[in-house]
Chains A and B, each alone.
Chain A
Amino acid sequence: MPRRKSTSRRVQRRKDVQHGPGGVSGDAFRCVGCRLPVPLAAPGTAHRNHCPHCLVSRHVDGRTPGDRASSCGARMSAVGLYARPDGEWLLVHECAGCGALKVNRVAGDDNALALVRIAVRPLADPRPARRALRTL
C-alpha cells in the first residue's frame, strides 16, 4: 500500500547509541520477551526499539530517545496503537517496572498479526462499543 508522504516531517534524530553488552556498539540486541536476537537494521526505520516478533521493548532511555538515561531496565510491553495523519502506525509501550510510556514507529518487518492484535484489543470488550452506539 503506497504511503502518503508529508513534506513537513520532523527530521529523524541521528543514531549513535550503544546496543551491545557492556556499552559496546553492537549490530543486534536480544529481546527481553522472547530472547530472540534482533538485528538493528530494519526496513522502514533507523530507530528500532522493539522486537519484531513479540513487540516487547526495554526501558533504557530517559526523556530523549537514545540518551540511555534511565536506570529502570524493565521490560516494556505494547499497550496501544496510534495512526499518524500520514498513515504510519506508532506503538505505545508501557514499562512494567515504573509505568513509563514511549512511542515508536512500527518497522516494516514487525509481526503484522501481533500489531493487529494490539489494534483490535480495545474492541474485544463490547461494553464501550455499546456505550458509543447509545450516544449516537
Chain B
Amino acid sequence: MSDTFTCIRCGLVVVTLTAEETRRNHCPSCLSSVHTVDHVEGGPTDCHGRMAPLAIAVRSDGSWALVHRCTRCRELALHPTASDDNQLILMRLAVRPLAEPPFPLDVFATL
C-alpha cells in the first residue's frame, strides 16, 4: 500500500489518507478512480479502467457517498466523499437530475 497515487485522468499526485484519517479511492480534484476491486465477487480485478463519478448516494446518517461507474466494464462502486473533494463537481452531480426532469416539476408547487 503506497501513501500516494497518481490520478488516471488529471495526473494529480494524491495522498491516500484524508484529513479525517480515512482512505480515499478517488482523486479529490476530478473525482475519478481506477477499477482495481471486483465489487461483484470480491477480490482484485484486472480491469484497471477509469471509474467516472456517476451519482450521489445519501447514507442513512445523511452523509454523501459517490457512485462510480467503470467506463470500461460498467461495474458500479460506492465510496464515501471526503471533505476536500471538489465540491463543485459533487454539487453538479447532486442537482443534475433536478435540472433535467423527465416530467414537469411544477406540479409539486401545488401539493
Chain A residues within CB distance 8 Å of chain B: 1, 3, 62-63, 79-83, 87-90, 92, 94, 99-103, 106, 112-113, 116, 119-125, 128-129, 131-132, 134-136
Contact = CB atoms under 8 A, between A and B. Distances in A.
B76 A102 contact: yes
Contacts of A134: 87
Q: Interface majority SS on B: helix, strand, loop or mixed? A: mixed
Contacts of A87: 100, 102
Contacts of A79: 57-58, 65, 67
Contact of A106 (B57, B64, B102): B102
Contacts of B102: 1, 3, 87-89, 106
A128 B103 contact: no
Nearest to B78: A101
Interface residues of B, number: 38
B64 A82 contact: no
